[in-house]
Structure 1
Amino acid sequence: MTASEMTPALSVLDLVPVRTGQTSAQAVASSMTLAQRADELGFRRYWFAEHHNMPSVASTSPPVLIAAAASRTTRIRVGSGGVMLPNHAALIVAEQFAALEAIAPGRIDLGLGRAPGSDPVITQLLRQSGTTGDVERFPSHVQDIALLMTSGGATVRFTSGQEYPVRATPAASASPEIWLLGSSDYSAQLAASLGLPYVFANHFAGQGLERALDLYRASFQPSETLAEPRTFLTANVVVSPTADEAEARALPQLRMMARLRRNLPLAALETVEEAQQGLADAPDAAEQTLIDGARANWFVGDPATVRSELAAFAGRHGVDEIMISPVAGSFASEPLDSAVGRAHTLELLA
């Protein structure tokens, strides 16, 4: 069997999408059900992203969502994809994830990113009580978190020479696995220099993938926790019984991405019918160009087609795992407290 024919392990990235008419409670309930289904189906891990003040995204607090998902699952690894570290004090992140490790030992991943996860206004609100995690200090904060979560903790040394011990939890028996996330050379090079596993955010970037992986692998320095480079990729995926249904379910998210790229006002995620009607009522060449460009990097279709494409994608980039973001939209008739299309994507790929 060649590398391109191997079936990669599958994981899930969840932004907790909110569609027209749906409450946050219904959106979160839908994601919890999806996490349980991923656990039953044998997916490797289930991560929640951090985004703020977006009408179509309810994943504002990964630690809270991780705790809820961990309590509803038994096998799957749960984690963040990722915590946007500049928004938070390193000690708080370490304490949260040390607590999660105590709740679900051996099943917690801490994915860290350096982007704000929102617009400049929200970024200011997140940091209005003072500096939390300066972007310039991102590398040292990553190292601080790793040390704080160990059983020995860290030591603060004052200029007077006095030492002060600090631990994220009183008696850690293990630590969450730390991953660096990014879509640039910076994150790839930092992960390599620290000897950490790395994930390229292909689901929203798409450009620079090969270069980032090459940089990471070529400059990787072994660490106490990782002897050789370890990476996987993310991808937007929609799978339905037929290709036509899959294309229809992909349209709401594609239209939302096009609006985001054009800095237009955002709203809750459209239903499939709303997205189709919107395209029919007001054809927009610029929007269609963005939709076509995004669609070219997505995996959309029937089960056999998408399985083959994902295997080829994994083989082409030398990874044994793909983290899918199941971006299937909903038809208006489908229940508000479930995500039929997203569940079908997982079930048809498993």
Structure 2
Amino acid sequence: MKLKLGILDQSPVTMGSTSAAALANSINLALWAEEAGFNSVMYSEHHGVEAYGSSSPELLAATVLSRTQRIKVGTAGIMMRNYSAYKIAEWTKFLTTLYPGRFILGLGKAPGGLKDAVMALNNHKPVVLSNLETKLEEIIRYLKEEKGEYEGLIAQPVNLQKLPEITWLGSGMTSAKEAARHGVGYSFAAFMNSEYGSENTDAYIADFEESLLHSTASLQVTVAVSVAENIEKARRNAYGMAYQFLQSRQLVSPEVVLPPEIVEQRILGSKDEEEFFTVLDRIIIETPQTIYPRLQQISEKYNTRDLLILCNMYSEEDRMNTFKNIILHNQLSH
């Protein structure tokens, strides 16, 4: 069975390179992904960190939409606590009007950065941890042009030909049930929490309520992947990505993607060694011959064909090789 594949692009910055180079890589990756047959490319949001070149997924999505014809492009996701529902709805309607049927609004509840970055985003005021589900409801009202808190207020442009897809990002049961309750898509971050993942995704599918945004449940699963000609190389190629994941887990600002030999120097024999290899083991590490069967297993586990692939590597050539092998063997399976 052919899988529905997308790319989660964090615009990774590598040691010795620049954020400008990372953004150029992101645009080149999207142009290639459209030609190669990927269904979508989604951009993440991070603030105040060296690791990732893009702080504005909506701007990167707009740039890529303007340079492509078919591929769906979106945010994965906009960190809602940093912005008003009204402003999110405005630029979502703007992109949906210009590129009907191609923009996906992915929304997340995480802060998108450490304390100082979040304070700066919120005008140096303490973040009001209001109910983000309520903000989702407000965004949906503006998109559907229903009456809301401000009587007569519209979000331009009005009269959309087609409502955008909305995807609620999460890794836990609460997010799964929220997505189901509001009739939006659910993107499950399996690379963050795979232990009880199928329980969350099963709940989303079982509890899904039909809406104007989605008539049926739309489940996507995001996995981190490394593919190389042999398992040892694939495993070493994933070291930089795993080290970033480890830093995020420890609430430390992630560094640029480091080469595997530097990660080894820092990890081996350190207090973080066991945790690092636990994180590494969550990454899908395969060869060209085994990657499709492994992705097929994940598809069957979560009962969805829709997989989003994350891959951050020190070598852009190795990163591209991972994506090339995934799409090639998915096409050969059909």
User: What TM-score do the two structures reach when normalised by structure 1?
Assistant: 0.87
Per-residue CA distance 1:56-115 (angstroms, 9 max, x = gap): 112211111101111222111000111111111111111111111223221000011111
1:202 maps to which residue? Answer: 190
Alignment match, 2:323:
346
Deviation at 1:38, TM superposition (A): 0.9
- Whose Rg is larger? 1
Q: Distance in 1 between matches of 2:245 and 2:126?
A: 31
Unaligned runs of 5+ in 2: 328-334
Aligned: 1:144 with 2:144 = no
Shift of 1:342: 1.8
Instruction: Give 2:18's match in structure 1, choosing from 17, 23, 26.
Output: 23
1:138 is displaced (CA, Å) by 1.7
CA contact (8 A) 1:195 1:223 kept: yes
Q: What SS does structure 2 have at the residue aligned with 1:286?
A: coil
Q: Note closer, same or farther for the CA distance 1:201–1:157 as it changes in structure 2 (3 Å cut).
A: closer
- Please give the per-residue CA displacement for 1:225-277, whole angstroms capped at 9, x wherever unaligned: 33332201000011123333222211111223223333456432213xxx314
- Looking at structure 1, the residues matched to 168 and 253 of structure 2 have their Cα atoms a distance apart, in angstroms, of 31
Identity score, percent: 26
Aligned residue runs from structure 1 range 1-350, under 5 A: 6-128=1-123, 134-150=128-144, 153-156=145-148, 163-264=151-252, 266-271=254-259, 275-280=260-265, 283-330=268-315, 339-350=316-327
Contact 1:246 1:328 in 2 (8 A): no
CA distance in 1, matches of 2:239, 2:63: 30
Distance 1:179 1:264 in 2: 27
One-letter code aligned to 1:110: L
Answer yes or no: is the 8 Å Cα contact 1:244–1:301 preserved in 2.
no
Cα separation, partners in 2 of 1:344 and 1:170, compared to 1, 3 Å: same
How many residue pairs align between the two structures? 327
What is the root-mean-square deviation in Å for CA atoms of aligned residues?
2.1
> Structure 2: how far apart are the matches of 1:186 and 1:168?
32
- Residue type at the aligned position of 1:179: T
Q: 1:3 maps to which residue?
A: none
Q: TM-score, normalised by structure 2?
A: 0.91
